[in-house]
Structures are given as C-alpha cells and as structure tokens.
Amino acid sequence: MELKPLKNWTPDERISAVKNIFNTITPHYDLLNRIMSGRRDVTWRKFVVKRIPVDAKEVLDVATGTGDLAIAIADEAPGVHVIGADFVKKMMRLAQSKTQNRGFISKIDYVSADATKLPFKTGQFDAATIAFGLRNIPNRLSALHEMGRVVKSGGKVITLEMTFPQNLRLRSFFKWYLNHMIPLVGGLISGNMAAYRYLPDSIQDFLTPDQLSGLFESAGFKSIRAFPLTFGLTYLHEGIVE
C-alpha cells in the first residue's frame, strides 16, 4: 500500500485509507502499541478512566478499535456499562474476543458506527471517550459535536491524543523516533511499513493541545481542561456538555 503525503488527501481518501490501514494491522495493533509507547499507552488509558465522572453508568468509547479503553473502563470503573463504537469491524471482532476472555461480556457491547454519525439517542450517555481516534477523522469538529450530542447535559467528553512535546530536545528526539523508528519497527512486525508511515504523519498533522482546546470550545463544551501526560507526548482533553 503506497501512501501519498497526508496534506494531499481528500477527506474521502483519508477515510478509506484509515479503514484500509486498521483492517490490515489489526493482529499486530496491540503489541505494536505496547512496544512503541513502552507500555505508556496502558497508563494513559488508565488516566482517562480516572477522569470519567464517578457516578457514570453509561459510557461510550468512540473509535474503540481493539477495545483497550472500553476494557480498561469496565475493569476500573465497576458498575459502568460501556458501548464501544468503531467503523472497522475487524478491530472490534478482536475487541469482542478480548472482552470475552476478560469476562466482561455483560459490561461491554460493540456497535459498528461512524464517529460523525453516531447511531445513539441524544443524551444517552454520561460520558464519551475517544483515544487516539480523533486525528484519523477529517471532520474532527463534527465528531466532537456528535459525542457532545449523545452525552447528557453535565456529562463529559474526553479525548486522548499524541502530540509534540514542548521541550525542544525531546521534540527533536520524538520527531526522529516517529519518522524513523516507528515505520521500521511497525513495518518489520506488521509487514506493512506504509501503515506505520501513516501513524507519524497523522501525529505531525494533528492539532496542537491549544488548538484542540479551541476545538472543544467550538463544539460548545464548558470547563475545558487539558492534561499533559509523559512530558506532553500525549494530552488528555476534557469538556463538560451544557
């Protein structure tokens, strides 16, 4: 699979490339996440769970992929029912089998859905999360609007995304790591170097933490907060639905 530079893609080309990439890398996705982040991804998702309101009963995890965040929520927030939604069924089939292995089958349901057209009622959820998904969606504001629509008033929307650290030394190391190590390691393990070229491109093409806070404002969320994680390699953003 040859990928042209992200800036030259139309939104439709990006959506079909994203579907193609996640369909191809499903079996290696979890392992590569752990290797490439040095298992930090697990800690980052646990922090998302901590930011979910303690009284939440129904949580939606958008772009759930192989279900790691949905499973972390079910594991660490007892009494919560989670719906994981994604438009790549192959990723969710793996999520489903991991959910079964963990004994969480009654706590998590998976639904095939596009983040920009969620098949859920207005105000159905107490919170909605999206981890490492927003940067893959060309119309990010529309995805945030949809998450806000399905969360009840006073509920929370949370995003988790990789960003460039502010520290200049760390920034140049991260740039080298992203552009050289990730395609190499990802390509060797998954056999799909192009997919692991998309990953660094999509991180470099994504919004800065301040721009993402601005997008939360445009989506109409209140009490917006941003938390840097691991020297700002990743950011959690949250906002309250009016």
Ligand X SMILES: C[S@@+](CC[C@H](N)C(=O)[O-])C[C@H]1O[C@@H](n2cnc3c(N)ncnc32)[C@H](O)[C@@H]1O
156 backbone φψ class: left, alpha, beta (φ>0; ψ -120 to 50):
beta
Token pair listed for 180: 């050289």
Examine residue 63 and tell whether it contacts ligand X (CB under 6 A). Answer: yes
The owner of tokens 């949250």 is 238
Helix (H) or strand (E) holding 28: helix 11-37
CB of 99 to ligand X, least distance (A): 13
- Alpha carbon distance, N-terminus to C-terminus of the chain: 43
CB of 138 to ligand X, least distance (A): 8
| Complex with ligand X: residue 58 or 146, whichever CB lies closer | 146
Q: Which of residues 113-172 bind ligand X (CB under 6 A)?
A: 114-116, 131-133, 136-137
Query: Segment contacting ligand X (CB under 6 A): 63-71, 99-107, 180-188, 227-235?
Result: 63-71
Nearest to 192 by CA among 26, 64, 35, 9: 26
CB of 194 to ligand X, least distance (A): 15
| Complex with ligand X: residue 71 or 241, whichever CB lies closer | 71
- The answer to whether the CB of 141 falls within 8 A of the CB of 212 is no
- Which residues are at the interface with ligand X (CB under 6 A)? 18, 22, 63-65, 68-69, 86-88, 91, 114-116, 131-133, 136-137
